[in-house]
């Protein structure tokens, strides 16, 4: 009988503990964030070949953050149960508990940095090196950067729409970026000349259509050319 009661007591304690974990996950926003980040990190660790000691430190750092957040919740709920009025000591208690969570989170950042830095550096170097060796990827990157730059400048100057009018000319920027990319990829005078001639015709058509002014097309040409040069210079480095 005593063994049965002891067993029931242990089961009840486990149930209470699990209910506490579920409560913090359901009702505490920060806990949801902690769990989400933890899941992402643990999934990433499966593909990075971590050693046993690294996994131990990683799991410990994650657990420490979760434990600190749970203690913070416990302190907050206890104080709220005792009083619903402002009291300096209640504020101190909540601030100290929140400080514990902050320290645990900073500790997890340091641990994650020390564990993942070398591995992520190797991966990022491999990815960048692969991209640099691919002219197609460079061209796509160039197009995306030019489009982003055009939209940003138009937003700053508050002129035109993302696809029509305003400073600078997006069509001209793309045309000159592509002409510059062609120049870098083929390195032939005739090809480069024809590419820039087509870019100039694009700019001239935007002016003739009264969609852009002369200076808007000049700005677009400079923007597209400079971004393309920057992208391909990075590739050379």
Residues with a catalytic annotation lie at 69
Beta bridge partners of 161: 164
Q: Kindly provide the b/e burial profile for residues 126-157, where b requires at least 16 CB atoms within 10 angstroms of the residue's own CB.
A: eeeeeebeeeeebbebbbebbeebbeebbeee
Say how far apart CA 83 and CA 100 lie, in whole Å: 22
In angstroms, rounded to a whole number, what is the distance separating the alpha carbons of residues 86 and 170?
Answer: 57
Could you write out the three-class secondary structure of 1-32? CHHHHHHHHHHHHHHHHHHHHHHHHHHCHHHH
Asked whether the bond before 168 is cis by omega within 30 degrees of 0, the reply is yes
Tokens of 226: 């400079």
Q: Are 175 and 224 in contact (CB under 8 A)?
A: yes
Q: What backbone torsions phi and psi does residue 58 show, to the nearest 5 degrees?
A: -65, -50
Task: Report residue 18 CA to chain centroid gap.
Answer: 33
């Amino acid at each position: 009988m005593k063994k049965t009661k002891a067993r029931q007591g242990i089961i009840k304690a486990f149930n209470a503990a699990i209910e506490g974990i579920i409560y913090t996950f359901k009702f505490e926003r920060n806990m949801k964030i902690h769990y989400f980040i933890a899941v992402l990190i643990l999934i990433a660790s499966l593909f990075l070949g971590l050693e046993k000691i690294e996994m131990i430190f990683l799991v410990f750092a994650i657990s420490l953050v979760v434990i600190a957040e749970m203690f913070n919740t416990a302190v907050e709920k206890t104080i709220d149960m005792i009083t619903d009025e402002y009291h300096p000591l209640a504020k101190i208690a909540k601030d100290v508990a929140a400080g514990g969570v902050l320290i645990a989170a900073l500790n997890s950042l340091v641990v994650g940095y020390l564990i993942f830095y070398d591995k992520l550096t190797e991966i990022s170097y491999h990815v960048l090196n692969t991209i640099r060796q691919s002219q197609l990827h460079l061209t796509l990157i160039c197009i995306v950067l030019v489009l982003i730059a055009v939209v940003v400048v138009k937003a700053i100057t508050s002129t035109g729409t993302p696809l029509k009018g305003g400073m600078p000319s997006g069509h001209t920027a793309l045309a000159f970026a592509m002409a510059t990319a062609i120049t870098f990829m083929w390195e032939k005078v005739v090809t480069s000349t024809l590419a820039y001639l087509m870019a100039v015709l694009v700019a001239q058509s935007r002016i003739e259509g009264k969609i852009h002014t002369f200076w808007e097309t000049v700005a677009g040409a400079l923007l597209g050319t400079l971004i393309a040069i920057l992208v391909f210079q990075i590739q050379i480095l």
